Amino acid sequence: MKIVGVIPARYGSSRFPGKPLADICGRPMLWWVYQQAGNVEEFDDVYVATDDERIAELCKQYNMNYVMTGEHSTHIARVHELSTKVDADYYVNVNGDEPLIEPETIRAIIPDEPSETPKVFGLMKILTDPVELIDPTNIKVAANKEGIALYISRAPIPHPYKTILFEYKKAIGVECWNKPALDLFVNSEPGQLEIIEDLVALRFFENGCPMHYTLVESNSLSVDTPKDLEKVRILMKGILEEQKK
């Protein structure tokens, strides 16, 4: 079974232009993510998927595999284009803004066997910060006991109407699809839920494709704003200092 790691990276960002090139302890953020993905033994290859020459030049500078794609409005469509150029049984998306993602966390998403039907996998962790709960950039997951998502949302779900004795869960920036799932996505139009929430993964939900989520423990922090970058720099500095001891 061939498994490929993919890091979609674009330069333009409404909240943080040039984010993949942001410096973290002397290296660009994209480099840190690539190193973490490269430490996943199950990956046959790791690629950066980008449409920007500045990111391509960065990949050349740091000897990172990359594939140039056209412009895409979603990261899933970008991975789909890569799947037309790189054959694999599964494509594991690792967000380019999670430089602290642990290789063992990424490993948790890898399926046991290939499939000819559309397969979609995700990771989730228990949400512990109240600020993250109300932050719409953090995607909340409501799943059944088998880990199949009943719904994913930017809003806090489920609603604590009868009890508060439960734990909220949020999606982590690691996703996995096979080629049939990627084909399903690009050949389907955005549905009402996707448009309302501006959440592209809901396209699978609306087209009857189950999304399987695995609960993991992770200290990963996504860099959505310059303030997040400062947090990550502090954490990364601490990790590097600890490694020197």
Q: Over the stretch 190-235, which tens digit does the pLDDT of each residue have?
A: 999 999 999 999 999 999 999 999 999 988 888 888 888 999 999 9
Q: Which two tokens stand for residue 98?
A: 């999670």
Protein fold of 3-244: Spore Coat Polysaccharide Biosynthesis Protein SpsA; Chain A (3.90.550)
d(CA 46, CA 36): 10
pLDDT digits (tens, 9 = 90+) for 117-167: 999 999 999 999 898 899 998 999 999 999 999 999 999 999 999 999 999
CA-to-CA dists, residue 241 to 42, 97, 233, 237, 238, angstroms: 29, 22, 12, 6, 5
User: What is the structure's pLDDT at 142?
Assistant: 98
What residue segments make up the domains of the chain, in order of their start? 3-244
